[in-house]
A and B are shown apart, each in its own frame.
Chain A
Amino acid sequence: MAHTGVLRPGFIQLRVLDMLAAVEHYSKRIGLHQVSEEADGRVYLKSADEFDHHSFVLRRADTAGFDLMAFKVRTDADLDAFEQRIVAYGYPVDHVPAGEQPGIGRRIGWTLASGHRIELFAHAEQSDPKPSAHNPDVWITEPHGMRARRFDHALLYGPEIEKNLEFFETVLDFRCAERLDMPDGVLAIWLTAGMKAHDIAFVKYPEPGKFHHASFELENWNDVGHAADIIARYDISIDIGPTRHGITRGQTIYFFDPSGNRNEVFTGGYTYYPDHPTRTWDHEQVGKAIFYYEREMNEAFLSVVT
């Protein structure tokens, strides 16, 4: 088994201003299923195509934005090994007991130079609905809404992303699949723990801990079109798309949840192998890098975050 250590994004926790509107958006429109609501008010959701207990967590608050993102590692021993490496690198690590989120084992957590809280966990119970593992049909529970197949990645905004790059590469064994360089230094990085073009990405931004988007993977370009129909039909606030990113080659739509947190649905993108070079873009092609068809960044890309 070549894939060890950090496997993939496990879940993200976002703040929302209006829980009922948020649950309606993520379940009926994005196409997730609500797994549970716990006593503290947090709501746990997943795609029917995901095995683990949940991949998306909503917390009601007076502000929108990012609470944390957690990656799943392969074994419990990985948690101890990573804790040692993270502490040796210089970040204090704290411990979240099993069950703090339903169905999730113990977690370790720390804060990046960019101000974002990241966690690792090794154990997740499974929950329904989930894919079949024996003579598996393509789905057991009929896809609905935008037919999101998984929570795929997040793009986060904050300072000192060069430090994030070094940390993810040297401590968590991620690879940088793609980067965007400006004359005064790196503007953005796309990092992967496996063979996807990215599992997490960062854009340099003065304010720490900011959130650009959480992204859901769709099956194909037709489903991206179907998602666009849903966005129009239900008057969901659109940012841009359907279009394509030069970076990662993903075919995409950016839009907003009812609290102003940006969502993405996308399909496609290349396969990354660890022996591939890092693809780089320079400032003269920045428009094409971000929005390949428009060939220019919209104003909101660098300025609208929660």
Chain B
Amino acid sequence: MQGNTARKWPDPRKRKGAMTDLLPTAGRNGDSTSTTLGRCFGGCAESCPLAGLGRCSGGTSAAPETPATARRVTVTIEGHGSASVSTEERLLVALERARGLGQITGLPRKLPVGCRRGGCGICRAQVIAGDYRRAPMSREHVSLSDEAEGVVLTCAIYAQSDLMLRLDARLPARRNCDGND
């Protein structure tokens, strides 16, 4: 599916003025063993002992900017209504808002919301149609074969076109996948 476009989404660490611009970006979705961070990220003053070692970048990062490329698309939950969402917004977070506005109704159970960061797996769903970008998500909940069938953690995808989503029991069963499958 869209798995190969993962690196194209705006990297929040590339915001103008973010001190992490100073950091190596290699290893973002892979291993970071070749990088040596060795620096303090604190908003700490000259009193920071790491400052003297040139390892303290001090200060705090700039405000997030609304990406100029944000577009609005329509996400439909099979049988339960649809919502207008931004292409730069975690899908689950957009759906939480749509539920609050009454645009999504009659779900068989409450919209499952957990960590919103791709770790806990509670927002597991299947994309039936449409394009999306992926943020990191735990292999414990989405195996490689799940991924090929469009199974996602909705908190870790960004809709890039109109999307059809399946939340119900016809989801492919969670497999006993080890971390590296």
Contact B119 A27 (CB under 8 A): no
Number of residues of chain B lying within 8 A (CB) of chain A? 47
Among B28, B48, B61, B180, find the residue whose CB has the most chain A CB atoms closer than 10 A. B48
Q: Which residues of A contact B40 (CB under 8 A)?
A: 27, 33-34
Q: Nearest CB to that of B40 among chain A residues?
A: A33
Q: Which of B47, B120, B139 contacts A305 (CB 8 A)?
A: B120
Residue A275 at the B interface, CB < 8 A?
no
Bound complex: CA A166 to CA B120 (Å): 29
Residue A23 at the B interface, CB < 8 A?
yes
Closest-CB distance, B60 to chain A (whole angstroms): 7
Would you list which residues of chain B between 111 and 134 have a CB under 8 Å from chain A?
113-120, 122
Contact A142 B48 (CB under 8 A): yes
Residue B161 at the A interface, CB < 8 A?
no
Contact A24 B179 (CB under 8 A): no
Contact A27 B138 (CB under 8 A): no
Q: Which residues of B contact A303 (CB under 8 A)?
A: 114, 122
Bound complex: CA A237 to CA B117 (Å): 8
Contact B118 A24 (CB under 8 A): no
**Contact digits for B54-78, partner A, Cβ 8 Å, 1 yes 0 no:** 0000001100100000000000000
**Contact digits for A260-281, partner B, Cβ 8 Å, 1 yes 0 no:** 1110000000000000000000
Q: Which of B19, B37, B122, B136 contacts A17 (CB 8 A)?
A: B136
Contact B49 A128 (CB under 8 A): yes
Bound complex: CA A28 to CA B31 (Å): 22
Bound complex: CA A34 to CA B33 (Å): 16
Would you list which residues of chain B between 16 and 53 have a CB under 8 Å from chain A?
19-20, 23, 25, 27-29, 31-33, 35-45, 47-50
Bound complex: CA A30 to CA B60 (Å): 13
Contact A37 B119 (CB under 8 A): no
Bound complex: CA A161 to CA B179 (Å): 25
Contact B44 A142 (CB under 8 A): yes
Q: Which of A21, A60, A145, A260 contacts B138 (CB 8 A)?
A: A260
Q: Which residues of A contact B8 (CB under 8 A)?
A: none
Contact A20 B117 (CB under 8 A): no
> With A37-B38, A63-B179, A306-B119 as given contacts, are A28 and B47 in contact (CB-CB < 8 Å)?
no
**Contact digits for B147-174, partner A, Cβ 8 Å, 1 yes 0 no:** 0000000000000000000000000000
Contact A34 B41 (CB under 8 A): yes
Q: Nearest CB to that of A64 among chain B residues?
A: B119
Bound complex: CA A39 to CA B42 (Å): 23
> With A21-B13, A34-B41, A260-B114 as given contacts, are A28 and B60 in contact (CB-CB < 8 Å)?
yes
Residue A184 at the B interface, CB < 8 A?
no
Closest-CB distance, B14 to chain A (whole angstroms): 11
Contact B139 A62 (CB under 8 A): yes
Q: Which residues of A contact B64 (CB under 8 A)?
A: 235
Residue A163 at the B interface, CB < 8 A?
no
Closest-CB distance, A259 to chain B (whole angstroms): 5
| Additional pairs, 18, CB under 8 Å, beyond known A24-B41, A27-B40, A141-B42 | A19-B32, A20-B20, A20-B27, A20-B28, A27-B42, A28-B41, A28-B60, A33-B40, A34-B38, A36-B38, A60-B32, A141-B44, A258-B117, A259-B138, A260-B120, A260-B138, A300-B122, A303-B122
Which residues of chain B have a CB within 8 Å of any CB of chain A? 12-13, 19-20, 23, 25, 27-29, 31-33, 35-45, 47-50, 60-61, 64, 110, 113-120, 122, 136-140, 179-180
Which residues of chain A have a CB within 8 Å of any CB of chain B? 17-21, 23-24, 27-28, 31, 33-34, 36-37, 39-41, 43, 60-65, 128-129, 140-142, 144-145, 235, 237, 256-262, 299-300, 303-306
A–B complex contacts, Cβ < 8 Å, 29 sampled: A17-B118, A17-B136, A17-B137, A19-B27, A20-B23, A20-B27, A21-B13, A24-B13, A27-B41, A27-B42, A33-B40, A39-B33, A41-B32, A61-B179, A63-B140, A64-B119, A65-B119, A140-B49, A141-B47, A142-B44, A144-B42, A145-B43, A237-B115, A237-B117, A256-B117, A260-B114, A260-B120, A260-B138, A261-B119
